Amino acid sequence: MLTGRRPPHDYLGTVLDAPDPRALGRFYAEVLDWRIHSDEDDWVTIAPDQGHVYLAFQKVEDHSRPVWPAQPDQQQIQMHLDIEVSDLEAATESALRLGGLLSEHQPQEGQRVVIDPAGHLFCIYVGDSESST
């Protein structure tokens, strides 16, 4: 069992399939204000300046866009990203300007479901200021 701080070489990553990893990597690098760490035709990773997490994008030629909300016999959403922000409207406008699409289906007040250029969902929401201090 690990105790204390994680060594600088230990990371936790999430990988999204994409027909164009470079385009999707640039999109999320802008949305999250993270840096691109690797940039290849079939693999791109982005990460914050500090921390032990990354987001990667791998090329999948036959990538199928998930359908939201779910529909029978259609590609189902396997996961989505949650992005906590301080200004919901500004963050949503920025994501849309960068190429995201606002989902027609918005299941909760106080958050926005956005679809990235490859069809993956992410939720933008304002966190509880009491718990983020």
Given 63, 79, 105, the domain boundary residue is 63
Look at strands 53-59 and 12-18 and give their pairing.
parallel
pLDDT tens, 49-99?
A: 988 899 999 999 988 888 888 788 877 777 889 999 999 999 999 999 999
Total number of domains in the chain: 2
CB neighbours of residue 27 within 10 Å: 21
Distance CA 98, CA 60 (A): 22
The amino acid present at 81, given as its one-letter code, is L
Q: Is the pTM of this model over 0.85?
A: no
Q: What is the domain range of residue 103?
A: 65-133
On whether the CB atoms of residues 95 and 111 are closer than 8 A, the answer is no
pLDDT tens, 3-62?
A: 566 566 677 899 999 999 999 999 999 999 999 999 999 999 999 998 889 999 999 998
Given 44, 63, 82, the domain boundary residue is 63
